[in-house]
Structure 1
Amino acid sequence: MLQTLLALPSLVAFDIDGEGRLLLGYDGSGVRQVHEIGADGSWRTLTALDERVVNAKYVPGSREVIVEHDTGGDERGQLSILDLDGDVPELKPLVHDPAYFHHLIAARPGRVLFTTNRRNEIDFGLIALDLGSGLETVLYDGGGYLIDVVPSPDDRWVLITRAGGPANSQQAMLVETATGRITEITSFDDQVCLGASSWLPDSTGLLLSGDFDRDRLAVFRYDLATAALTSVVADDARDLTGWASPEGDHLLVGANEDGAVTLALHHLDGRPIAPIELPPGGCGAILVDSNPVWSEDGNHVVITYSSPVEPQYVIRYAVVGGDTFAVRAPDAPSLPAGLEHPTTHRVPSFDGEPVPLFLYRPVDGGDGSAVVLVHGGPEWQASRIWNPLIAGLVEQGHTVLVPNVRGSSGYGKRWYSLDDRDLRLDSVRDLAAIHAWLPTIGLDQDRVALWGGSYGGYMVLAGLAFQPKLWTAGVDIVGIASLVTFLENTSAYRRVMREREYGFLATDREFLELASPLNQVDAIEAPLFVIHGANDPRVPLSEASQITDALARRGVICQLLVYPDEGHGLAKRKNRLDAYPQAFAFLKDQLAQR
């Protein structure tokens, strides 16, 4: 059953064309590739690369597709083009330079917009490439890490969202494409978190999802002529995100309530029309993977849906009539029995703050052992989506606790700011509060492991180092062992962005050293299992090597698996099927009743 859970395929929506055809990412081959689904439901495989496809877009007015892919998980995106008029689509290089990052932003009639850091490896610029002549035009070169780029329908403007000043904030600005003139919507130092953005069809304004002068994300309208920012849809208890339809008649609103995302159709002025009927308890907008995509005519919206009991699949929703067409993975094995939605809890922490937590129990109640699984980010959110690791751990008999410790998004500006800079270790103290809470739900405090990836891996190592008496074992996937060496060795563009969250090497080194698990390695007693990709551009492999080397010298049980064709996580099924069963076996042994 474990192999089945880990091998279940998933889909993600990339794009929809004017004929209702869909571009999907599908990992049935073991590595996500591009597939086209005809309006009649027929499948066509478009790519057969050895590497994972990151994104794909139709070129309007043609049968061409732009594909972004990298090599070995290094995230250095390269752009290629497919002509679908032929019997066998051939992937041809479009923008290729493996030394730099290139990210597909949009495909317009006859041209492609992409970002790249090829000027200095740190700052990203926005480039328009003419598909006919091959000529490139620089639309923005003002520096920074660009989180989102949205061109206006008339191509006169581009909305750019880049990493801003305070830790989790972003800066929104308008760039006039003909002159390069920049108009700031938010300043660099504003404490504003931004979500999805979309333009009005006449290019006179746009919709921004953000927490402007409020705790929760809401949908705002920004008028170019007056620079006025007005609320369209807001809810003081939930984060809201909005996507305007291209023809301007509708607004799709996603409401994030404790990690579940529901969708509803609204008028463009915010008046509600009707909810979109989706299975309960899941996410109609995958928070870290795929936003809904509107068709050019506004008649359909394509949704990537997932829940704790079903892998990602795609839904095409018809605005008129509300009909839905579900696209699921072909020939996928049946879902195992016993998968259940989690229960929701609030765990009081050291200062009385309630930590949101999802609890997954085995059907038979389990054997009393527990695994606390911490998400990455740190400003991401553990949401109610399919996670085969959770399902696998539950199948092994462990109760799995998935917290949104302070610093997580989805619970308001105040909550995601509570771990910034010198408050970093307060989020680790949330883990201790969860450990203290375990007896109230019948779990054995002497048989509890930590599991996490990326920043979650840092939390695993920090828990073992700063709370060595609490945890029985740890599984660290691409985690940070030292905040100092991480910032020194990560990709240059990420250092600039991440210092805002963790602290600056030049001014905060003393605290960064204090909060680094590697500097407390002599306190670690619990066995550790580590998984890392050799090509990780975010958290270098040296983070895994130095913590496992230090533990090995002390005789602490530790194991390191390194995959030469992976980056920041395991994107290839063959590697997941190799690594995760070993990690599960490690935990089963460490958490066994003695």
Structure 2
Amino acid sequence: MRFSQLAASAAFLFVAAPVSAQVASPQRAVTDPRSIDSPANADAQPVPVEDLAYSRTLGATSWSRDGKEIYLVTSLTGRNNIWKIPASGGWPVQLTRSDDSQSGLIPSPDGKLLYFLQDQGGNEQYDVYAVPTQGGAVRNLTNTPELRETTPLIGPDGKTAVMATKLKTEGQVNLALFDLGTGKTTPLVKESDPQLRWSPTAWIDGGKAIIAARENSDSTVAEIWRVDVPSGKATLILGKAKTIYEAADVSPDGKLIAVTTNEGTGQLRAALYDIAAKRWRALKPTPWAQSAGGFSPDGRSFTVRTIEDGRSTVALVDVATLAERPLALPPGLNSLSGGETSFSPDGRRLLASHSGADTTADLHIVDVASGQPSPVTALGLASLTPANLPKSQVVTYKSFDGTLVSAIVTVPFNLKRDGSNPAILLPHGGPTGQSQDGFNRTATALASRGYIVMQPNVRGSTGYGQAFQTANYQDLGGGDLKDVIAGKQFLVASGYVDPKKVGITGGSYGGFMTLMAVAKTPDEFAAGVQLFGIINWFSMYEQADPLLKEYIVSLLGDPVKDKGVYTATSPMTFIKDIKAPLLSLQGENDIRVPRGQAQEVADILKAKGTPNDVVFYPAEGHGFAKRENQIDSLKRTIDWFDKYLKGSSAGTAAGASQ
């Protein structure tokens, strides 16, 4: 469970001392800092925060069963609800109306109902709901406040679904069968180890069994199993210590599994596994993270996605030859959409999403024969034209121990290379996460106001190999923080940035990194804004959801046995040295990083006399889903940095509950 997905004393510093050897990752050239450039643009203006917030999000999507419509979750009304649009293009029609967000769209086999997931106020206790595809009353089919249901898959009979379930009081994730007619849930697989979680992948053998995944809490081990239905008898197909085997899909004839694995390479790659023959066929080697996708309805091809240093491509792969044919999506953040399958029922089209640093996310239909995409949504406001939005560049620099670190740098227009400009470091969530070169509201808002923004993929990030991903275990806020500092030094070396005008902000693990940065390295950053970050690993462990507790243990060890690690990696240990003004933003219902973490920060800084503020947003979880709170939090962030990095006191933020 990652902090960004549900999904971290000097006397103890030796416990978390970073290794001095360079951490392995894909080879790439180091960027000359002076190659960073601020282009001229006479029309450049600060992007209004409201325009960013009113540019709608793109969430879960699905084809209708006949392929004539597309269901999607988007924030057209300021809430992430379900809409439908004709696949040929046309006006969207709203299907659900709720203050709570929806996800996991799956149409019923007869096409009359759309199943989806919904929680309450961001608490992540999901139930399974249904709404008629022609409109009508929404029904909660499970209504189990103490049990979370996710990833439902409807069986061939159209009457039974298999789904992952988790009790509030347990860390492990199990499998259950769900009768779509009666609402009755029957356990299928009961996991005893709180470190492990199951999820269904595909039905096989005409509904007699499923292919399922079983992985540990930090996603460093994953196995593929066959589970018979309804007996629950589980048979291991692929599994090995310290190895990932992730099943993406099963071919229509049930013979092949599309697999993502790091077996023998330490880097994720896509392959096909013949179940009966127990034989592998892997795609051509690549140093970059690659993941298998779904099969076409005729079984002749499957999809694959490759993330190369923060930018992603999608390709179709011929099952017979393993020849890859890239889809013609623009550079940036590209992924396949569509829930159960990205392919249309006739197999001729694919659903894909694309965004870039200067392009908001939109849904595309890709013609399978030609590979050419056509946009079917226009979710950004007209004011957000690429010509007037800041551009990004992927850079690579060396950290303190020679480790290569990549980052996405968004550069404002019209800056002078005179060492006078402010900058913001924006570490991602996770820590097992990755910043990718897509549209980022915070980066765009700040860069359009004259801040150079860097999103570093420090050690611990995904996409750069297993050794890199685990390089900060029991060292959070150690080597990874030094990677952030090296990023700051890179920006200063560009000639644009004043080292005394650098701030830091981030959410979840990025919030933890913000806290650690301003506390452990108090002279490096002039201001910070932390969103739902961890201040104290001891109280975090005590307050956390049981599944998240297991993730914490996987990163830091046991809180009793490894007490020194918890102390050395807690910003609480260093907070006495903080100098930078700090703003904290927190959702009231956050189960990943509970409210108490932000309250601890506020209480400490108030007693210490450090300039600070804290805002708690009601009915919000791990991240702010409601438009008014997105606007308020981003305005507060801008105001904070304007005040403490630029000396401005414009004050644009609206009021919010505190």
- TM-score (normalised: structure 2): 0.85
- Return the alpha-carbon distance in structure 2 between the equivalents of residues 333 and 517 of structure 1: 42
8 A Cα contact 1:292 1:304, kept in partner? no
Question: CA contact under 8 A between 1:216 and 1:412: conserved in structure 2?
Answer: yes
1:137-161 deviations in Å (ceiling 9; x for gaps): 3222224553642123433333333
**For the aligned residues, what is the CA RMSD?**
2.3
Asked if 1:421 corresponds to 2:474, the answer is yes
Mark the CA change 1:74 to 1:182 in structure 2 (over 3 Å): closer, same or farther: same
- Matches of residues 181-580 of structure 1 in structure 2 within 5 Å? 181-187=233-239, 190-193=241-244, 197-226=248-277, 228=278, 230-243=280-293, 244-269=295-320, 271-272=322-323, 274-285=325-336, 293-322=342-371, 324-329=373-378, 332-336=381-385, 337-365=387-415, 368-422=421-475, 425-442=478-495, 443-580=497-634
Q: Deviations over 1:410-452 (max 9, x none)?
A: 1111211111124651111212222333321121111111111
Q: Which has the higher contact order (CA 8 A, sep 6+)?
A: 2
CA distance in 2, matches of 1:291, 1:104: 9
State how far apart, in whole Å, the 2-side matches of 1:73 and 1:339 are: 31
Contact 1:19 1:39 (C-alpha < 8 Å) held by counterparts: no
Task: Select the residue among 171, 182, 207 that pairs with 1:122.
Answer: 171
1:149 counterpart = 2:200: yes
The more displaced of 482-491 and 162-171 is: 162-171
Distance 2:560 2:236 in 1: 28
Range moving further from structure 2, 43-52 or 233-242: 233-242
**Residue type of the alignment partner of 1:231:** R
Distance in 2 (CA, whole Å) between partners of 1:341 and 1:177 is 52
Match of 2:78 in 1: 30
| Residues 87-122 of structure 1: per-residue CA shift (max 9 Å, x gap) | x42101201122332214223422333222138533
TM-score, L = length of structure 1: 0.93
1:486-538 Cα distance to aligned partner (Å, 9 max, x none): 12211112212331123222321221111100121101111101110010010
Match of 1:294, SS?
coil
Moved more, 139-148 or 457-466: 139-148
Residue 140 (str. 1) matches residue 189 (str. 2): yes
SS in 2 for 1:590: helix
| CA pair 67-322 structure 1, distance change in 2 beyond 3 A | same
Unaligned residue ranges in structure 1 (runs of 5+): none
Cα separation, partners in 2 of 1:160 and 1:184, compared to 1, 3 Å? same
Q: Distance in 2 between matches of 1:466 and 1:370?
A: 19
Evaluate the alpha carbon distance shift between residue 306 and residue 344 of structure 1 in structure 2; reply closer, same or farther with a 3 A threshold. Answer: same
Structure 1 pair 59–10 and aligned structure 2 pair: CA distance change class (3 A) = same
- Other-structure match for 2:653: none
Residue pair 2:163, 2:177 contacting (<8 A) in 1 also: yes
* SS, match of residue 415 in structure 1: helix
- Matched-pair contact (CA < 8 Å) for 2:534–2:540: yes
Q: Distance in 2 between matches of 1:114 and 1:295?
A: 23
Alpha-carbon distance between aligned partners in 2 of 1:362 and 1:7, rounded to the nearest angstrom: 22
**Do the aligned partners of 1:28 and 1:329 also contact (CA within 8 Å) in 2?**
no
* Pairwise CA distance, 1:361: 0.8
SS class of match (1:499): helix
- Asked if 1 retains the 8 angstrom alpha-carbon contact of 2:151 and 2:199, the reply is no
Q: How far does residue 253 in structure 1 lie from its aligned partner after superposition?
A: 1.5
Letter in 1 for 2:225: M
**Kept in 1: contact 2:391–2:412 (CA 8 A):** no
Partner of 2:144: 97
58-67 or 473-482, which deviates more: 58-67
Q: Which amino acid aligns with 1:2?
A: V
Aligned with 1:30: secondary structure?
coil
Q: Does the Cα contact within 8 Å between 1:282 and 1:306 map onto a contact in 2?
A: yes
> Does the aligned pair in 2 maintain the 1:168–1:379 contact within 8 Å?
no
Q: 1:421 to 1:171 in 2, by over 3 A?
A: farther
CA shift, 1:387, in A, is 0.8
Cα distance in 2, alignment partners of residues 431 and 492 from structure 1:
30
Q: Judge conservation of contact 1:474–1:526 (CA < 8 Å) in 2.
A: yes
Distance 1:441 1:291, change over 3 A: farther
Which has the higher mean CA deviation after the structures are superposed, 6-15 or 156-165? 156-165
Pair 521,120 (structure 1): closer, same or farther in 2 beyond 3 Å: closer
- SS of 1:152's equivalent in the other structure is strand
1-structure distance, mates of 2:633, 2:560: 38
**Secondary structure, aligned partner of 1:538:** coil
Q: How many residues align?
A: 588
2:556 and 2:565 in contact (8 A); partners too: no
Q: Is the 8 A contact 2:535 2:597 kept in 1?
A: yes
Distance 1:175 1:506, change over 3 A: farther
For residues 379 and 434 of structure 2, what CA distance do their matches in structure 1 show? 30
1:26 alignment partner AA: T
